[in-house]
Structure 1
Amino acid sequence: MRRSKPVFDFDEVLASCTRSALHLEMRDAYAVDNETGRYAQWRSGHRFDPADEASWWRPWHTQIAETVARGVEVRRARIVSEPVTEYIRFEFDGSFMNVAAGEQVRWLPRRRASDIALPGNDFWLFDERIVRFGHFTGDGEYTGEEWTEEPTVARLCSTAFGAVWERAVPHEAFKV
């Protein structure tokens, strides 16, 4: 599988953020390691205990916690079909980890997003100026990323994210 070479390094861009890092996810499933990964463990009944942070805290959580500690607002919005897929239930169950690291998480039922102009791909938007699109196959396999600083694209992503965020349900109030 060919992956496009990124223009930026994700970790460096996140580390250089000063105001915001926004992430919009629009798929109902992502390909994950179905044999040994967290999704497989979840499917077999394993659930992480929020009180046992040592069992689930990963470098990603440290990176987000450090970003938030610098005063950067990290927000994640997920547009989901209802009833939700098994994968979305998995993501929902694990979102307490994102919240513990300092992310704000919201969920928007897809039927409530019909009149929002959305980019065709999931994205991260950093400080309202750098966009990283993630590309996936129909089966959810990650195929690469595309970066841009094009102002019109950044505005589209900012406007779309803002509209989704405004309508979305905070994680603690969303029911799967």
Structure 2
Amino acid sequence: MIVSSEEFEKLLTDFRHDAIHLETRDAYGTEVELPYMAKWAAGELDGLEWLQGWCATLREHVAAGRSVRRVRIVSEPLSDYQRWSHSIAQPMVDAGEDIRWVPRQRLTEPGNVVMLPGNDFYVFDSRLAVFLTYAGNGLSREMVSSTDPKDIAACEDAFADVWKLAIPHRDYSPQ
């Protein structure tokens, strides 16, 4: 089922226990982020005011005992998008989101091969998977949800396999 932006925003705030998020692309072109990334690329300061709403939501989740985990699979050296993304991650980590990084080559090391769904995803409370689809230029196309237990299990298994190889944000030094 297609998930609207409004429905997705509600999912980000209304889950009961945990949300996991897997990112697999080296570049995104979200309409919200592009202007701020352009400022960063031009060497302009960004006070990250635009990120404060998400950070407030994260603090509310932590205060209520909910967890938010994100793992980013990245190619090294990092794309400009991922370098920018790394540069703005600390406020989200400080607010309570556990963000981790996995160099892509780790996913195919002998004995550690990880199979992944074809799209980025969120899983909310082990009950709902939301797949995020993108155009080739990184712009968001649509979000599609599934409550099928097989889909949810596949996402959770993939996330767990990647998480085992992930480096906490504080310990990851971009190349």
Structure 1 and Structure 2 fold alike (TM over 0.5): yes
Structure 2 unmatched ranges of 5 or more: none
Does the residue aligned with 1:145 lie in a helix, a strand or coil? Answer: strand
Name 1:134's counterpart in structure 2.
132
Q: Following the alignment from structure 1 to structure 2, what is the Cα–Cα distance between the partners of residues 123 and 60?
A: 18
Answering whether residue 96 of structure 2 is matched by residue 99 of structure 1, we say no
User: 158-167 or 25-34: which moved more?
Assistant: 25-34
Question: Offset at 1:129?
Answer: 1.6
RMSD, aligned CA? 2.3
Name 1:70's counterpart in structure 2.
64
Code of the aligned partner of 1:84: L
Which of 152, 163, 170 is the aligned partner of 1:172? 170
Name 2:146's counterpart in structure 1.
148
Q: Following the alignment from structure 1 to structure 2, what is the Cα–Cα distance between the partners of residues 91 and 25?
A: 12
Question: Offset at 1:96?
Answer: 0.7
TM-score of the superposition, structure 2-length normalised? Answer: 0.88
What is the number of equivalent residue pairs in this alignment?
169
Answering whether residue 89 of structure 2 is matched by residue 85 of structure 1, we say no
Does the residue aligned with 1:106 lie in a helix, a strand or coil? Answer: strand
Q: Which runs of 4+ in 1 moved over 6 A?
A: none
- 1:131–1:154 Cα contact (<8 Å) kept: yes
- 1:24–1:122 Cα contact (<8 Å) kept: yes
Does the residue aligned with 1:22 lie in a helix, a strand or coil? Answer: strand
TM-score of the superposition, structure 1-length normalised? Answer: 0.87
Code of the aligned partner of 2:26: D
